């Protein structure tokens, strides 16, 4: 029986050989055929030479989480050949470069081999060695067009778009596609039993990387200063911001309505953000775990001196340098509670690029509203992989929430100015921006304890008043942060799952699969800390809750216990932390161990 629009295709390449663009082309073509697709880069911390993989899940039902079990693998990396062949599912296909014969030790009886003489074809048609290497990649894509029944017209359109500015390159790319296609057609029965068929499964979705959407969100949210220091997997946030700023934020006279500063390190990046927001701009930084560690002292300053900060943490595998090119959710505690002393920070957890865009603008609003650091906690999987998601939307009637800022007129009007006076009794005070008024509203910003008028004090009562007011602010924030997404099971149940961020994909898939087995789980996706009432209610209304996350220590579970005094016995940690995106199968297997019904 043919298997249509449901498979995992993996490419095994050598890093730095130009395979990325060919592989992206493959995924985009499937997307344009209306088929839900979810590509993932599995790459080394290396620029050239080490193995890299690109894994594409194609799923007609729209399940976009990672799935193990490779149906077709294109293996062009001799270093990883053995491992790659072993990774193919029984009955699956291994597509390889047959320029050289496969050694007998690589032959498995239970899989199918498809040899395409990629390098040979390339060398026969292209002279320059660099091009031979590049077009070898396009040749295997061409072969897949035949093998999987991809629409050639669609992929050639993509070539046209990609080389619109260098049309001379188009014929060579076409030729490479045709070479692979013709060879496969002539030598193999095409299509294979795994094949693709145009469908209407993507609607008006877009295919975009989370980090680029984050950069765009910062532009739409009105950020004018970005300070950053390169670190995988956050660097493309900076790139996204800058690339789109060049198009969207330059005046007719060529002057920029933004400042993009590559700092000397993460400490400086955070200092710059603090200086800029203190001075009335919207500013942000993007980093990963090691960067957050370095920024910690400054984060405490911003918390205590009450300065808006927006920090994007695109998490990667820790601790230390850890697995810099693998995904995890390991910085939940260290980001929410970053810095010494009693600190805690408003944090948002996007799970799609669309949410990266929206939440980034929300973070900038929240930072101004609450005059405090606001964290957007994403991860490598979301940030650096393309995800199929709803289009980015902006409501033109939306106004930036610049929070409580006195301007010159306000200062004339009010009786007295105290930077840290809780005038509205919500824990949030009014600030002034330097340069506002000649004689009123100036104050001294400091990280030392101070009174309501920003005067230095070591008085214990005053200190307690100030830090308790910060807690009141935290309470106020509960009604401002995004509320969680609750998905109820088809039948009433006292079991639930809690998850956040990219775990969403596989968690929802697992929920559906469980349902088919007659096991019902309600689901709650956390979108923000502080937790609002919905989270508390969800925990209270279920007997057993599985907290699914991608770290070793069940960090979000700890935060739930810490912030809500939730009963630890009720909360079971379901964890995956091998650096690969969590799968529905893993979730089911690990939850299954706790379900008597399945034993």
Partner 1 sequence: MTYIKPTFRHPGLKKNKVGYVRADYEGAISTLCAGCGHDSISGAIVQACFEMSVEPHRLAKLSGIGCSSKTPTYFLSNSHGFNSVHGRMPSVTTGANMANRDLIYLGVSGDGDTASIGMGQFVHAVRRNLNMAYIVMNNGCYGLTKGQDSATTDFGSISKSSGLNDSFQAIDLVGMALELGATFVGRSFSGDKDQLVPMIKAAMSHPGFAFIDCISPCVTFNNNKGSTKSYQFVRDHQEATSTIDFVPHEEEITVDYEAGTSTSVALHDGSKIHLDKLSPNWDPTDRYSAVMRLQEAKLTGDILTGLLYIDPKSRGLHDLMKTSKRPLNSLQEEDLCPGSAALEGINAGFR
Among residue numbers 362 through 391, which ones bind partner 1 (CB under 8 A)? 391
User: Is 76 or 389 the residue whose CB approaches partner 1 more closely?
Assistant: 389
Q: Which of 64, 114, 118, 219 binds partner 1 (CB under 8 A)?
A: 219
Q: Pairing relation of β-strands 522-526 and 495-500?
A: parallel
Distance in Å, CB of 112 to partner 1, minimum:
34
Q: Which is nearer to partner 1, 268 or 382 (CB)?
A: 268
Rounded to a whole number of angstroms, the minimum distance from the CB of residue 134 to partner 1 is: 24
Q: Which two tokens stand for residue 431?
A: 């600030």
Nearest to 349 by CA among 557, 496, 556, 76: 556
Positions 481 through 520 that interact with partner 1 (CB under 8 A) = none
Give the footprint of partner 1 on residues 1-30 (CB under 8 A). none
Extract the tokens encoding 367. Answer: 């930072």
- Report the SS3 class of residue 252: coil
442 binds partner 1 (CB under 8 A): yes
Answer yes or no whether residue 248 interacts with partner 1 by CB under 8 A: yes
Q: Which of 297, 422, 452, 536 binds partner 1 (CB under 8 A)?
A: 297
Residue with tokens 């292209």: 126
**Residue count (the chain):** 599
**Of residues 222, 418, 579, 592, which one binds partner 1 by CB under 8 A?**
222
Q: Judge contact between 183 and 116, C-beta under 8 A.
A: yes
Rounded to whole angstroms, the Cα distance separating 321 from 358 reads 30
Which positions ≥6 away from 18 have C-beta within 8 Å? 133, 134, 137
- Least distance between partner 1 and beta carbon 339 (Å): 11
Nearer to partner 1, 351 or 532 (CB): 351
Pairing of strands 88-97, 283-287: unpaired
CB proximity list for 445: less than 8 A, separation 6 or greater:
278, 305, 307, 454
Query: Which neighbouring-strand residues pair with 70?
Result: 88
- ∠ CA 6-9-10, nearest 5°, is 155
Least distance from C-beta 405 to partner 1, angstroms?
Answer: 11
The answer to whether residue 265 forms part of the interface with partner 1 (CB under 8 A) is yes
Region binding partner 1 by CB under 8 A among candidate stretches 190-198, 277-285, 326-334, 583-591: 277-285
Please, which residue, 295 or 336, has the CB nearer to partner 1? 295
Query: Which of 276, 363, 375, 510 touches partner 1 (CB under 8 A)?
Result: 276
Tell me how far apart the alpha carbons of residues 410 and 586 are, in angstroms, rounded to a whole number: 58
Which range in 230-238, 295-303, 328-336, 554-562 contacts partner 1 by CB under 8 A?
Answer: 295-303
Kindly state whether residue 254 participates in binding partner 1, applying the rule CB under 8 A: yes
Q: Which stretch binds partner 1 (CB under 8 A): 167-175, 263-271, 320-328, 538-546?
A: 263-271
Q: Tell whether residue 216 is a contact of partner 1 (CB under 8 A).
A: yes
| Contact between 456 and partner 1 per CB under 8 A | yes
Eight-state DSSP code of residue 397: T
- Cβ proximity to partner 1: between 280 and 496 the closer is 280
> Applying CB under 8 A, which of residues 81, 196, 237, 272 lies at the interface with partner 1?
272
For the segment 184-213, give every residue that binds partner 1 (CB under 8 A): 204-208
Cα separation of 335 and 377, whole Å?
A: 8
The residue among 53 and 298 lying less far from partner 1, judged by its C-beta, is: 298
DSSP 550: S
| 250-258, Cβ contacts within 8 angstroms, sequence gap of 24 or more | 257/224, 258/219, 258/223, 258/224, 258/225, 258/226
**Subset of residues 298 to 357 that bind partner 1, contact rule: CB under 8 A:** 298, 301
DSSP 8-state symbol, 116:
E
Tell which phi-psi region holds residue 70, choosing left (phi > 0), alpha (psi between -120 and 50) or beta. Answer: beta
CB of 303 to partner 1, least distance (A): 12
Q: Which of 95, 111, 150, 274 binds partner 1 (CB under 8 A)?
A: 274
Smaller CB separation from partner 1, 171 or 434: 434
Assign 195 to helix, strand or coil: strand
Answer for which of 29, 38, 41, 224 binds partner 1 (CB under 8 A) is 224
Residues forming a β-bridge with 207:
388
Q: Which is nearer to partner 1, 206 or 595 (CB)?
A: 206
Maximum distance among all Cα pairs of the chain, rounded to whole angstroms? 89
Write the CB contacts of 537 (distance below 8 Å, at least 6 apart in sequence). Answer: none
* Of positions 89, 120, 193, 244, contacts partner 1 by CB under 8 A: 244
Which of 225, 227, 238 has the alpha carbon at shortest distance from 263? 227
What is the size of the binding site for partner 1 (CB under 8 A)? 73
At closest approach, how far in Å is the CB of 200 from partner 1?
14
- Would you give the DSSP letter of residue 71? E
- Can residue 220 be called a binding residue for partner 1 (CB under 8 A)? yes
- Smallest distance from partner 1 to CB 354, Å: 10
Q: Which of these ranges, 177-185, 264-272, 324-332, 483-491, lies near partner 1 under the rule CB under 8 A? A: 264-272
Return the SS3 of 291: helix
Q: Please, which residue, 274 or 332, has the CB nearer to partner 1?
A: 274
User: Could you tell me which stretch among 74-82, 146-154, 249-257, 460-468 binds partner 1 (CB under 8 A)?
Assistant: 249-257
Nearest approach, Cβ of residue 587 and partner 1 (Å): 29
Please identify, among the stretches 51-59, 241-249, 466-474, 495-503, the one whose residues bind partner 1 according to the rule CB under 8 A.
241-249
ω into 233 cis (within 30 of 0): yes
Residue 377, helix vs strand vs coil:
strand
Residues 382-441 binding partner 1 (CB under 8 A) are 391-396, 399-400, 432-439
Query: Rounded to an integer, what distance in angstroms lies between the CA atom of residue 312 and that of residue 298?
Result: 15
Complex with partner 1: residue 263 or 481, whichever CB lies closer: 263
Identify which of residues 73 and 364 has a Cβ nearer to partner 1 in the complex: 364
Q: Which of residues 26-85 bind partner 1 (CB under 8 A)?
A: 31-32
Rounded Cα–Cα distance for residues 395 and 593 (Å): 46
List, edge to edge, every strand of the sheet that includes 544-549: 485-487, 522-526, 495-500, 544-549, 571-575
Residue 66 in contact with residue 583, Cβ under 8 Å? yes
């Amino acid at each position: 029986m043919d298997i249509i629009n449901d498979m995992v295709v993996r490419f095994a390449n050598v890093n730095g050989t130009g395979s990325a663009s060919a592989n992206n082309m493959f995924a985009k073509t499937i997307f344009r055929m209306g088929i839900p697709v979810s590509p993932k880069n599995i790459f080394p911390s290396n620029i050239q030479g080490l193995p890299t993989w690109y894994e594409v899940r194609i799923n007609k039902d729209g399940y976009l989480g990672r799935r193990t079990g490779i149906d077709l693998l294109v293996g062009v990396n001799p270093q990883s050949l053995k491992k790659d062949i072993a990774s193919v599912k029984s009955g699956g296909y291994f597509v390889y470069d047959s320029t050289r014969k496969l050694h007998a030790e690589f032959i498995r009886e239970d899989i199918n081999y498809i040899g395409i003489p990629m390098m040979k074809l390339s060398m026969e048609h292209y002279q320059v060695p660099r091009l031979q290497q590049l077009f070898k990649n396009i040749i295997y894509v061409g072969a897949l067009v035949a093998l999987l029944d991809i629409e050639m017209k669609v992929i050639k359109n993509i070539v046209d778009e990609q080389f619109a500015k260098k049309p001379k390159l188009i014929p060579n790319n076409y030729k490479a596609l045709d070479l692979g296609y013709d060879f496969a057609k002539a030598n193999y029965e095409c299509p294979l039993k795994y094949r693709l068929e145009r469908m209407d499964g993507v609607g008006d979705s877009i295919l975009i990387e989370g980090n680029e959407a984050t950069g765009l969100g910062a532009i739409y949210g009105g950020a004018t200063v970005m300070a950053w220091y390169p670190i995988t997997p956050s660097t493309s946030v900076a790139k996204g911001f800058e690339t789109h700023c060049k198009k969207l934020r330059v005046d007719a006279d060529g002057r920029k309505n933004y400042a993009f500063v590559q700092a000397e390190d993460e400490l400086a990046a955070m200092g710059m953000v603090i200086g800029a927001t203190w001075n009335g701009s919207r500013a942000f930084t993007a980093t990963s775990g090691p960067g957050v560690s370095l920024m910690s002292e400054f984060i405490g300053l911003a918390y205590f001196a009450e300065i808006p900060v927006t920090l994007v943490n695109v998490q990667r595998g820790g601790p230390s340098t850890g697995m810099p090119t693998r995904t995890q959710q390991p910085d939940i505690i260290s980001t929410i509670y970053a810095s010494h002393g009693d600190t805690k920070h408003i944090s948002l957890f996007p799970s799609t690029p669309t949410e990266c865009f929206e939440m980034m603008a929300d973070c900038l609003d929240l930072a101004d509203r609450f005059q405090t650091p606001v964290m957007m906690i994403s991860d490598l999987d979301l940030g650096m992989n393309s995800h199929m998601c709803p289009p980015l939307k902006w409501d033109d009637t939306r106004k930036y929430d610049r929070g409580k800022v006195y301007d010159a007129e306000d200062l004339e009007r009010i009786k007295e100015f105290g930077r840290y006076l809780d005038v509205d009794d919500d824990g949030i005070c009014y600030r002034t921006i330097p340069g506002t008024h000649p004689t009123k509203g100036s104050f001294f910003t400091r990280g030392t304890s101070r009174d309501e008028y920003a005067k230095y004090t070591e008085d214990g009562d005053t200190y307690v008043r100030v830090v308790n007011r910060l807690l009141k602010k935290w309470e106020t924030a509960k009604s401002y942060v995004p509320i969680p997404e609750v998905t109820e099971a088809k039948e009433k149940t006292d079991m639930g799952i809690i998850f956040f961020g990219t775990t969403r994909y596989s968690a929802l898939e697992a929920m559906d699969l469980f349902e088919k087995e007659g096991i019902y789980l309600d689901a709650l996706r956390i979108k923000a800390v502080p937790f609002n009432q919905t989270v508390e209610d969800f925990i209270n209304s279920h007997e057993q809750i599985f907290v699914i996350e991608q770290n070793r220590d069940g960090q979000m579970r700890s935060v739930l216990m810490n912030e809500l005094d939730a009963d630890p016995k009720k909360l079971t940690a379901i964890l995956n932390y091998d650096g690969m995106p969590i799968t529905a199968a893993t979730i089911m297997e690990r939850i299954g161990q706790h379900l008597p019904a399945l034993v």
